[in-house]
Amino acid sequence: MNSIAPQKLIARPSPALRGSVSIPADKSISHRALMLAALAVGESRISGLLEAEDVLRTADAVRALGAELERVGPGVWHVAGRGIGGLVEPENVLDMGNSGTAARLLCGILASHPLFAVLTGDASLRRRPMRRVTEPLGRIGAQFLGREGGRLPLAIIGTGRALPLDYRLEVASAQVKSAILLAGLNARGLTVVEEPEPTRDHSENMLRYFGAEIVVEPKGKGRLITLRGQPELRGAEIAVPGDISSAAFPLVAALIVPGSEVEIPKVGLNPLRTGLLFTLAEMGAEIAIENERTMGGEKVGDLRVRAAPLRGVDVPAERAPSMIDEYPILAVAAAFAEGTTRMRGLQELRVKESDRLASTARMLAANGVAVEIAGNDLMVHGSGKPPPGGGLVATEMDHRIAMSALVLGLATKEPVAIDDSTFIETSFPRFVALMQSLGAKISRE
């Protein structure tokens, strides 16, 4: 993707957004579906797979590890798995592009296979910390050799005799939890992970769905997860719901562009992902959830949202895991609210695709919004009126900064430009067309 020339885009103040949009499939679930299907015995059928850069990297990686993948239609993939422990050594380096989830979860799978592999990624991914997974995975017997800080490129020598791990997470990270659980699939006995705060549980849900024995119990403020090793995972049918982290962009756009009314059907509503909906409701948003149902073990519903005046709120640090990817777009909503929004405990944002605490603040400051970083908190001071806009935002290889800045520009006084839209492809390939279909004015100049 780095070979494509940077694509500048401009978002202009837009008329009321109207209509219904079909948002892309959930990225977290899509990665996991491909990985577990590759580890299952027999064929899996995945429908509604997210066909965006990040997930396509996972598809390439599991193919390089010996799984057979066939795309039989848009978003519909058949995967013939190799069974737990059955992956083969990849012949070449595995390039995970921009995707932290792909890289970290794959480390877990590779750790408990007796093979040698090398992982790399783009400049953003090569900056991100990997020790959080290589340290616990080293304890099961895998060896990792990486750059300073355990960063990519990373060479891995996995083990065919993985020891089961009993591990308390140091950071509330679903990626680290998932890496350990995936490694534990090919360890004898019980792998136990304790998380200090609950994080997204798509891995647990899907492991159970594929036939693993997994028990989740509350422990203190968090959870204790116990997985029995070496189960037989059986090929399954998986329908992937829409990604609430992608829905967040048209949702906030509809809230801040006066007169808007937008419907977003089939959004995944896993309770560990819905912190943004809760926070926006506290800010005064009207978001109706209709037709609640389940899809492949995950809660789903249709969202209907109308423009509304917003007020600043205090967002507690405990809520961060349930909306960790939504802070840039929440900060955009906060720029239109009356009063200060204080988002607490955002240290994890510093190690996302960009340093999102800094890049979110810079995005707003460049457009005349009063914003401060205090320790690990982000404070946005809104006046209840549209901010000036007029800035050029550096997207820093971060899809969520790019999309947040474009949403900002739909309701500021002056247009907002971004320097590079290419990274939107990592999670939301049709973002611009979809926003245009609602009436958003986003164009190349």
Catalytic residue numbers?
325
Residue 55: CB minimum distance to ligand S3P, A: 11
Coil/strand/helix, residue 139 = helix
| Measured distance CA(36)–CA(52) in Å, rounded | 19
Which residue number, 28 or 260, has a Cβ lying nearer to ligand S3P? 28
Which residue, among 310, 445, 290, has the nearest Cα to 382 in the 3D structure? 310
The answer to whether 11 and 405 have CB atoms below 8 angstroms apart is yes
Which residue number, 156 or 180, has a Cβ lying nearer to ligand S3P? 180
Which residue, among 414, 264, 398, 241, has the nearest Cα to 329 in the 3D structure? 398
Q: In the window 323-342, what residues touch ligand S3P (CB under 6 A)?
A: 324-325
Does 175 bind ligand S3P (CB under 6 A)? Our answer is yes
| Measured distance CA(187)–CA(159) in Å, rounded | 10
Task: Write the interaction track for ligand S3P spanning residues 307-326; mark x where CB under 6 A is met and - where it is not.
Answer: -----------------xx-
Does 101 bind ligand S3P (CB under 6 A)? Our answer is yes
How many residues of this chain bind ligand S3P (CB under 6 A)?
A: 10
- Out of 166, 261, 282, 348, the only residue in the binding site for ligand S3P (CB under 6 A) is 348
Task: Write the interaction track for ligand S3P spanning residues 28-67; mark x where CB under 6 A is met and - where it is not.
Answer: x---------------------------------------
Tokens 């592999």: give the residue: 117
- In sequence order, the β-bridge partners of residue 410 are none
Which residue number, 105 or 156, has a Cβ lying nearer to ligand S3P? 105
- Out of 173, 354, 404, 426, the only residue in the binding site for ligand S3P (CB under 6 A) is 173
Does 178 bind ligand S3P (CB under 6 A)? Our answer is yes
Q: Where are the beta strands (DSSP E) in 247-397?
A: 261-268, 286-295, 298-306, 314-315, 338-343, 370-374, 377-383, 392-393
Does 282 bind ligand S3P (CB under 6 A)? Our answer is no
Nearby residues of 347 by Cβ (< 8 Å), 6 or more positions away = 357, 376
| Measured distance CA(278)–CA(319) in Å, rounded | 10
Stretch that binds ligand S3P, among 36-44, 172-180, 181-189, 361-369 (CB under 6 A): 172-180
Does 174 bind ligand S3P (CB under 6 A)? Our answer is yes
Which residue number, 27 or 362, has a Cβ lying nearer to ligand S3P? 27
151 token code pair: 């960063």
Site residues (vs ligand S3P, CB under 6 A): 28, 101, 173-175, 178, 200, 324-325, 348
